[in-house]
Amino acid sequence: MVAYRGLVPLPAGHPADALRIWVGESKHFLVYPVRAGQLLNYVGFVPSDSSVRESWSERGDPAALAAHFAGWDPVIGQVIAAISGPGGTGFQWGMYDRAPLSRWSDGRLTLLGDAAHPMLPHLGQGVNQALEDAVALATLLRACASSADVPGALAAYERLRRDRTARVQRGSRRQGAGYDSSGSQLEDRRWIYEYDAWAEAVALT
């Protein structure tokens, strides 16, 4: 998957306080206002068969994004058209996912943030989990009486954080699969959608 992401000025008439998501097979588009409703953050998630350079500044082609969402709600077209206008920005990121690590500390060395638990962005939790790590780590290190206590504090930090961050990693993956209707959630729900009440009743007659 590739995420096209950027900011545009809040279009006239667009709600300044609402997150909106459009979902379709294998793609979804979402917008939410930022900077007190002056700007609209947009993200379009689409499938891709090529890799994307790992970078925070890889430009996304608005025409390619528009082609992915041709025929969708005109609001999406309006947002994409604004990318090339004044104040619009557009970047793209490859979406890469990793399973939770079984450990991330060794003696006096540990990790935090994405290095410890990279996750897909579908729960909007990457930075939040990194900040929680930082709070936990700082609190436990502060309680150390000497450097000899540090390995124990790092082990306690990892124990405290590992299950929670792993749960968020898995939840982000599930959320993305659900949005794009192409993953295990759809498989899990197939029994609901494929149920034919008429055929079931006819079978009893």
CA distances from residue 34 to 7, 70, 156, 170 in whole angstroms, order as listed: 9, 25, 37, 27
Q: Which of 9, 24, 100, 113 binds ligand FAD (CB under 6 A)?
A: 113
Spatial contact of 179 and 28, defined as CB atoms under 8 Å apart: yes
Binding to ligand FAD (CB under 6 A): which residues in 85-104?
93
Q: Tell me: does residue 3 bind ligand FAD (CB under 6 A).
A: yes
Q: Is 60 helix (H, G, I), strand (E, B) or coil?
A: coil
Alpha helical stretches, state H, 143-196 = 150-179, 184-193
Q: Which of 4, 32, 96, 157 is catalytic?
A: 32
Annotated active-site residue 32? The verdict is yes
Q: Which residues contact 82 (CB under 8 A, 6 or more apart)?
A: 8, 9, 11, 88
Q: Is 3 helix (H, G, I), strand (E, B) or coil?
A: strand
Q: Which of 44, 60, 126, 176 binds ligand FAD (CB under 6 A)?
A: 126
Spatial contact of 11 and 76, defined as CB atoms under 8 Å apart: no
Q: Name the residue nearer to ligand FAD (CB basis): 62 or 126.
A: 126
* Contact stretch for ligand FAD (CB under 6 A) within 76-84, 118-126, 162-170, 188-196: 118-126
* Contact stretch for ligand FAD (CB under 6 A) within 57-65, 80-88, 127-135, 186-194: 127-135
* Contact stretch for ligand FAD (CB under 6 A) within 22-30, 102-110, 124-132, 137-145: 124-132
Spatial contact of 119 and 125, defined as CB atoms under 8 Å apart: yes
Q: Which of 9, 100, 121, 171 binds ligand FAD (CB under 6 A)?
A: 121
To ligand FAD, the closest distance from the beta carbon of 113 in angstroms equals 2
Q: Tell me: does residue 114 bind ligand FAD (CB under 6 A).
A: yes
- What does the angle CA 122 – CA 82 – CA 87 come to, to the nearest 5 degrees? 90
Q: Is 138 exposed, middle or buried (0-12, 13-18, 19+ CB in 10 A)?
A: exposed
Q: Which of 64, 75, 130, 166 binds ligand FAD (CB under 6 A)?
A: 130
* Contact stretch for ligand FAD (CB under 6 A) within 15-23, 126-134, 165-173, 179-187: 126-134
Report the interface residues with ligand FAD, using CB under 6 A.
Answer: 3, 5, 93, 113-115, 121, 124-128, 130
Query: Any idea which residues carry the catalytic annotation?
Result: 32
